[in-house]
Amino acid sequence: MQKTLEGLVTPFVAIVIALLIGAGVMLVTSHNPLTAYGALFSGAFGSTINVSNTLANAIPLILSGLGVAIAFKAGLFNIGAEGQYWIGSMAAVWIGYSVPGLSPILHVSLSIVVGMLAAGLWAGIIPGLAKAFVGAHEVITTMMMSYIAIFLSHYMLENGPMMQPGFTPQSPVILPSAMLGKLVERTQLSWGLVIALAACFIIYWLLYKTTLGYRLRMVGLNARAAKYAGINVPLHLVLALFISGMLAGLAGAVQMLGVQHRLYDSFSSGYGFTAIVVALLANNNPFGVILASVFFAALSTGGQSMQLVSGVPAHLTDVISGIIIFLVATKNIVQMVQKRWRKRHTIAPVKEA
């Protein structure tokens, strides 16, 4: 419990410092920080509709953030969650409009499962196998696969096999049986929220209550020690990227079935990239991912209200996000330097003796 609380200190301090720096920028530019932040908070949580839309924006961040976090836990940097998000979206939408005659439960389940499997294989086959057997760095391979996925979607929608007849690059609307129901009417909040929260509990259980999770974490902490202990390191590297991709694909599938209902060319809002920030701020804790996702969703939702009420540009929220990333990353760098310093000064006296 104490370790968990200590892990929350850095993200909390980072957020406070970022908000204070943001307030300083507002003062320099002759804006009232209290008015601006009050409008931001009201825009994100000031009414049932605002809260619902904030939570709806948090859903893909929660699921994508979980995917990035589980890769981090295994010592992998899955920077290609954006591409996996697109692959999951394409697969789910294709099943959603092309498979008629299914009951709603079966149709939704099939769309989600196909989207997850497609994205998981996208992350696991080339980046995972390349990392496991030839040592190719996952940052390079996942990023390359991400761009391939994005341009593949352009092809599919721009006079491609998924384009709806007409001149607009978009897919057909998914069938009603494939749509996720709304939790709050006249908002974007769907049953995807329940799926996202369930995924957090499942990933927590997987990481901390199962043998597989222990092995994934051990590979992330020290791959050599894991190999010495008899763990199949290449297999678990592939599995980590496969699970990570599945979660990013689940984010895309839920977003399509619950909000978009069709695939648009260039529909993405950068959820896969923001997920990296979410995982860093949450310190890779599945429940911390929920809080971090809601925070960034609130910045996005409330930013427009802040601009309308106080005149502060909504892009200031991007500045705040960048400061948070910098502070969290600085903390990680300092910890790494301290660890190496202690190791060096612990080993040196032993050698002298």
Q: Is the pLDDT of residue 180 over 90?
A: yes
Give me the pLDDT at residue 5, please.
57
pLDDT of residue 211: 94
33's CB contacts (< 8 A; 6+ apart) are: 22, 23, 26, 27
Mean pLDDT of 319-325: 82
In the predicted structure, residue 213 carries a pLDDT above the cut 60: yes
- Per the DSSP assignment, residues forming a β-bridge with 170 are 264
Instruction: Specify if 43 maps to a domain.
Output: no
203 pLDDT higher than 50: yes
pLDDT surpassing 90 at residue 322: no
Tell me the residue range of the domain where 203 lies.
59-297
Position 27 in a domain: no
Residue the block writes with tokens 């940052």? 139
- Give the distance between the most distant pair of CA atoms in the chain: 80
Does residue 310 lie within any of the structural domains?
A: no
pLDDT of the residue at 247: 97
Residue 69, pLDDT score: 94
In a domain, 270, yes or no: yes
Average of pLDDT values for 172-192?
92
Beta bridge partners of 264: 170
Whole-number average pLDDT of the chain:
88
Question: Could you tell me which residue, 275 or 329, shows the higher pLDDT?
Answer: 275
Q: Which of 101-110, 164-173, 190-199, 210-219 has the lowest mean pLDDT?
A: 164-173
In a domain, 156, yes or no: yes
* 15 occurs within a structural domain: no
Q: Is a pLDDT exceeding 90 seen at residue 272?
A: no
Say what the pLDDT of residue 342 is.
63
Nearest CA to 103 out of 46, 208, 178, 168 is that of 178
In this model, does residue 93 exceed pLDDT 50? Answer: yes
Residue with tokens 């591409």: 83
Q: Report pLDDT digits (tens) over 129-174.
A: 999 999 899 999 999 999 999 899 989 998 889 998 888 888 999 9
- Domain total in the chain: 1
Per the domain annotation, does 216 fall within a domain? yes
Question: What is the model's pLDDT at position 314?
Answer: 80
Sequence-distant (≥ 6) Cβ neighbours of residue 177 within 8 angstroms = 100, 102, 103, 104, 107, 108
343 belongs to a structural domain: no
pLDDT at 350: 44
d(CA 101, CA 175): 10
For the entire predicted model, the pTM comes to 0.89
